[in-house]
C-alpha cells in the first residue's frame, strides 16, 4: 500500500481510453491507478511499482496478456501479486482457461459496469467495501 493508505493498481491495457476509464472508476475509491500501454511496458511497470493488484488485458499487439501473466508468475518477486483479467474475450472457454487453468484471480469481460469492476477488485483484495 502507498503511504496515503491508497492501494496501487497497475492497469496493463493497449487502449489509453480504457486505462482512463478504469482510473476514473477506481480513484473514487482510494485506488492509485498506474497505466501501462501494452504488455512490455506493463511488465516494466509491475516490476517498478510492485502494486497491490494488476488489471491485465489479454489482446495486446506487442505481447499478449497470457505471455505477460506467465512471465510475472515465473518471477518470484511478482508471482504473489493478484491478477484480474479485463478483456473483451467473453467466450466461456476463455473464462475457464483464465480462472481454472491459468489460475487468474478473477475475470471481468468488457464492456463492464463500474460496480462490476469495483466488486471484483474488492473481492480479490479481500476488502469489504460496497460500491
CA distances from 77 to 6, 7, 19, 42, 73 (A): 21, 18, 24, 15, 9
Residue 116 corresponds to which cell in the numbers above?
A: 462490476
pLDDT at 116 over 80: yes
Phi, psi dihedral angles at 19 (to 5 degrees): -60, -45
Q: Return the minimum-mean-pLDDT range out of 25-39, 74-88, 94-108.
A: 94-108
pLDDT at 96 over 80: no
Burial of 20 (C-beta count, 10 Å sphere; 0-12/13-18/19+): middle
pLDDT at 117 (0 to 100): 97
pLDDT at 38 (0 to 100): 96
- What's the topology of domain 7-123? Rossmann fold (3.40.50)
CA distances from 96 to 14, 92, 93 (A): 23, 6, 5
How much is the pTM?
0.89
8 Å CB contact between 85 and 56: yes
| Better pLDDT: 124 or 93 | 124
CA distances from 115 to 44, 70, 118 (A): 29, 28, 5
Encode pLDDT of 34-57 as tens digits.
999 999 999 999 999 999 999 999
When the pLDDT of each residue in the chain is averaged and rounded to a whole number, the result is 89
Encode pLDDT of 11-23 as tens digits.
999 999 999 999 9
Using left for φ > 0, alpha for ψ between -120 and 50, and beta otherwise, residue 117 falls in alpha
Bridge partners, residue 54, by sequence: 10, 83
4 pLDDT band, cuts 50/70/90, is: low
Amino acid at each position: 500500500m502507498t503511504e496515503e493508505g491508497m492501494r496501487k493498481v497497475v492497469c496493463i491495457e493497449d487502449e489509453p481510453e480504457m486505462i482512463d476509464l478504469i482510473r476514473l472508476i477506481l480513484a473514487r475509491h482510494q485506488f492509485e491507478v498506474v497505466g501501462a500501454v501494452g504488455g512490455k511496458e506493463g511488465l516494466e511497470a509491475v516490476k517498478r511499482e510492485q502494486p497491490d493488484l494488476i488489471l491485465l488485458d489479454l489482446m495486446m499487439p506487442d505481447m499478449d496478456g497470457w505471455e505477460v501473466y506467465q512471465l510475472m508468475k515465473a518471477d518470484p518477486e511478482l508471482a504473489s501479486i493478484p491478477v484480474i483479467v479485463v478483456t473483451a474475450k467473453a467466450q466461456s472457454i476463455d473464462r475457464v482457461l483464465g480462472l481454472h487453468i491459468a489460475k487468474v484471480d478473477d475475470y471481468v469481460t468488457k464492456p463492464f459496469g463500474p460496480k462490476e469492476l469495483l466488486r471484483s477488485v474488492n473481492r480479490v483484495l479481500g476488502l469489504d467495501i460496497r460500491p
